[in-house]
Amino acid sequence: MIAATSPVQRPRGAKLLVVRADGELVHAPRSSFVEFLNRGDLVIANDAATLPASLHGVHLPSGGAIEVRLAGYAAGSRADAPRFVAIVFGAGDFRTRTEDRPLPPALAADDRLALGSLVATVDTLLDHPRLVSLHFEGRSSEVWAGLARHGRPIQYAHLAEPLAMWDVWTPMASVPVAFEPPSAGFALDWAALRALRDRWIAFATLTHAASISSTGDPELDRRLPFDEPYEIPRATAAAIRRAKARGGRVVAVGTTVVRALEHAARRRGGIRAGRGVATGRLGPSTCLRVVDAILSGTHEPDSSHYQLLRAFADDDTLARASAALEAGGYLTHEFGDSMLVERTRPACADAPACYWLSNSPTTLPSVSATRA
């Protein structure tokens, strides 16, 4: 597929490939997304705002130029004292393909990195010359000020012009915890929310700290996505129970929403409100308990996003969809076209409809906690 090279969230001609539950493929304008939903469905988006997570500066021990890309939250990170997993590149910027970027100077624990007005200290090396965990010095408000002044959105060589913050915040962007935009949400604007409401389709959000999507290094890319903290509001968990009880579908906007919801529902008792950390990858061996359909970007078969789609549809259907995307000239990457994939594979046997009808654990069928 061809990469979308201009940072327009909702281009007029955006396309949508619908993969129906019966395997039928439908081509449509993306603006008609809502027409493929039913009264009673529940659309759930990720309202994470995107951090300006690319920081240029100097590796102080060597004086070498570096670019630090904050990539995820490290274990033990707290809201008031965040610790980050970071990818470190040598000299250069996004205009060079990540595959071609030089390694940074040799990094060691306790190395200090000057990044604009910010100073970061390397906590640990993470088994790769580019990968470290780090924290910033100073009070929380100073770190936010430094990020706001000096940070830039992470971007890749397929976009020629530097991205601005307004290019990467979805209309629903709320708390800045994502390292790259939950870009499936670009498709939704406020008029779309209104259209959902007018058709008795519910809308809710969760917050999922989407980690970096690509590093340019095959070994690191195999470790993606990193562990991702998420928070599911009580109102959202309640909306899911109501939707399931009335026979509506849960439609996830983006892979991050699927990750959060399926992680939160991995144990008996249905969906849990509150915080969690989504680990592992979803793929062909995952059985979905919550999500019935996904609105997503278009993904190449070698990506982790594509692997997640295999939880929704069998390989034959996805292969036909990929061929249709290719033949239809669909654009890929974060500003590209979209697909709506309805679940063709059966849901978890331990998640029948009645599972959702009660909040009382005593009436639930006995389920074993299967990990995705």
List residues binding another protein (CB under 8 A).
47, 49, 51-52, 79, 140-141, 144-145, 147-149, 164-166, 169-176, 190, 193-194, 197, 204-205, 207, 233-236
CB 123, min distance to another protein, A: 21
CB 204, min distance to another protein, A: 7
67 beta partners:
56, 89
Which residue, 187 or 309, has its beta carbon nearer to another protein? 187
Task: Characterise 64 by phi-psi region: left (phi > 0), alpha (psi -120 to 50), beta (else).
Answer: beta
Which residue, 52 or 105, has its beta carbon nearer to another protein? 52
45 beta partners:
205, 253
CB 146, min distance to another protein, A: 10
The closest of 228, 221, 259 to 131, measured between CA atoms, is 221
Which residue, 141 or 368, has its beta carbon nearer to another protein? 141
Which residue, 232 or 278, has its beta carbon nearer to another protein? 232
Q: For 267, how many CA atoms within 13 A lie in the half-sphere containing its CB?
A: 5
Contacts of 59 (CB under 8 A, 6+ apart): 65, 66, 104, 105, 107, 111, 113
CB 203, min distance to another protein, A: 8
CB 83, min distance to another protein, A: 16
Distance CA 338, CA 10 (A): 11
CB 183, min distance to another protein, A: 14
Which residue, 81 or 175, has its beta carbon nearer to another protein? 175
3-class state of residue 202 by DSSP:
strand
3-class state of residue 297 by DSSP:
strand
Contact of 227 with 73, CB cutoff 8 Å:
yes
Which residue, 97 or 197, has its beta carbon nearer to another protein? 197
